[in-house]
Copies of this chain bind each other. A is one copy, B any other.
């Protein structure tokens, strides 16, 4: 059994590879400044809002969105100074601090509109969710700037919350309808190492789903009906039963991910075997029954969440950006419980596809829903009444380095590639690791060590499941990859010296994927993948009615081609397909004719779709 791993914080990781560097720079230069303007224009940055109570839900969640923006901006400041941005960040942090009530309560909407109603509707009012994002913002701001403007009010607010909630006679035994604070408190604990923060996180996790149900109790106390609320079921909030008894993914997907991630944190911090088992069951359920080939989850538009197993419609997919990001965050935490590529393969898949698709190439527009087929009407937006897809992808890209590595006392594990370096401490020894590659465009990855002194430790290098035939060399000498594979990680244990070099070669073949037979939406279809990237066909590359009539018969020639003219240089896939004749006349059914004209078609990575002119898009292509 390996010792427990801890993820290496993004601040200790320098991402230099072309793929992610470009995304990080775009977020810093374009996304974060524009989001500030857009949030301001929507009235969400006014220090003390005086809204009508009936205003959109988003105003109730304003502190959450402010918090997420502050988090992204702080990450950006941490990796690159920017006085103008720093001023905005500090002003906003100061305004939040100024709004705090004497007893520590800090929710700007509630304070301005209905302070007497605070904590009376945990189910719907999202105060604890907003608090969670203030906590995350406070941590990020403090870590980025060293200033205590926001972290001090946050710590005071956390004390207020700890005093308010619990099993004491004067306390409310509640928890939030929308999860978030649990994850934030676990993170706060990793900074403060103050048990009270972990205890409070544990309280919220453990309390969830108890009966009689707190949401009923508080509804009765308000004089409300207990049945009428947005989510309609407690499954929607994953509060239908105690979390350790949850083994099937239900309800709203973004909420579920935040909770499952917090459960994984808690299982790791507390060594809680029952929580770990629940996490493992839920992971298997989500990834083997509810996940798109892009890593998207939450297929159903009805609840923006989980529907029936294997029900994964393409054009009608909800597959929200934030839910995908949540799955990556959860996977990152599962990796601290077990170093197993079943977690990191999904984490990578999600980050490179379902999550990244949410951000336009120019960093100015977003997708909230991420369908796998489109008719040209699904377009990116600059602002959305539910803007979390925007703020979530910004903070995720700005801290992407935090997904790359983890370490324990025995060594260092590399989960993601793409050009990065880190310095960390393994069993008391400082280890510097530099990875250079043009991944994911190219599969040749070079890792070089920079050590205080020669020492024995293990380097675990993820060999993705798709990389069949991967090879590796240490200082030029071949390594038996399959013989040294531990749960999908190439485990290289030896006495390492400064300058030691490992070259990992991952074959970047174009792969035809098939879906489990129960996925009706993918029956008779294939999807193309190369490395971690899933590809799609767009009309702009395949004009006319090519995309909607495209067939890729089994055995079609597939190839990859460097396209420096597209998106600053990518690898596209070319395929010899068939464009079916549109000769159905007035009938619906016709004998198989094999009619169609051969066509060489081009697929681009899914994360780049919807950035050029509107048109059809397709991931799962019919094979007949």
Contacts and interface: CB of A to CB of B under 8 A. Distances in A.
Interface of A: 284, 287-289, 291, 293, 314, 342, 465-466, 511-517, 519-521, 523-527, 548-549, 553-554, 580, 582, 584, 586-594, 622-624
A584 B513 CA distance: 12
Contact of A624 (B288, B342, B519, B624): B624
A548 B310 CA distance: 14
Given A289-B588, A512-B592, A588-B287, A622 B523 contact: yes
Given A466-B591, A512-B591, 11 more contacts: A287-B586, A288-B586, A288-B587, A289-B588, A511-B591, A514-B593, A514-B624, A517-B548, A519-B588, A524-B524, A525-B624
B526 A592 contact: yes
Nearest to A314: B520
Contacts of A515: 588-589
> For A284, A525, A588, A594, which residue has the most chain B Cβ atoms within 10 angstroms?
A588
A342 B527 CA distance: 38
A592 B288 contact: no
A382 to B, nearest CB: 30
Contacts of A582: 517
A106 B473 CA distance: 93
19 contacts: A287-B587, A288-B587, A288-B588, A514-B592, A514-B593, A515-B588, A516-B589, A517-B548, A517-B582, A517-B622, A519-B588, A523-B523, A523-B524, A523-B622, A524-B524, A524-B623, A524-B624, A554-B592, A554-B624
Contacts of A513: 589-592
Contacts of A287: 586-588
A525 B586 CA distance: 20
A292 to B, nearest CB: 9
Contacts of A520: 314, 521
B589 A524 contact: no
B588 A516 contact: yes
A316 to B, nearest CB: 10
Contacts of A291: 588
A293 B587 CA distance: 10
Contacts of A284: 586
A467 to B, nearest CB: 11
Contacts of A587: 287-288, 465, 516
A105 to B, nearest CB: 45
A129 to B, nearest CB: 30
B526 A624 contact: yes
A569 to B, nearest CB: 27
Contacts of A580: 517
- Number of this chain's copies in the assembly equals 2
Contacts of A591: 466, 511-514
Nearest to A586: B288
Contacts of A548: 517
A41 to B, nearest CB: 37
A526 B590 CA distance: 10
Contacts of A584: 288, 516
A464 to B, nearest CB: 12
A251 to B, nearest CB: 20
A30 B514 CA distance: 49
Contacts of A592: 511-514, 526, 554
A549 B518 CA distance: 9
CB-based closest 9 A-B pairs:
A524-B524, A512-B592, A623-B624, A511-B591, A516-B584, A524-B622, A513-B589, A523-B622, A293-B589
Nearest to A590: B514
Contacts of A554: 553, 592, 594, 624
Nearest to A373: B520
Contacts of A289: 588
Contacts of A553: 554
Contacts of A516: 584, 587-589
Nearest to A511: B591
Nearest to A548: B517
A342 B588 CA distance: 12
A574 B590 CA distance: 21
A470 to B, nearest CB: 14
A593 B512 CA distance: 9
Residue in A314, A524, A584 whose Cβ sees the most chain B Cβ within 10 Å: A524
A588 to B, nearest CB: 5
A586 B623 contact: no
Contacts of A314: 520
Contacts of A590: 513-514
A554 B587 CA distance: 22
Contacts of A622: 517, 523-524
Contacts of A624: 514, 524-526, 554, 623-624
Contacts of A524: 523-525, 622-624
A156 B549 CA distance: 60
Contacts of A594: 554
Nearest to A545: B517
Contacts of A293: 588-589
Contacts of A517: 548-549, 580, 582, 622
Contacts of A593: 514
A622 B594 CA distance: 16
Contacts of A512: 591-592
A66 to B, nearest CB: 37
A597 to B, nearest CB: 15
Given A524-B623, A525-B524, A623-B624, A514 B466 contact: no
A587 B341 CA distance: 12
A419 B397 CA distance: 74
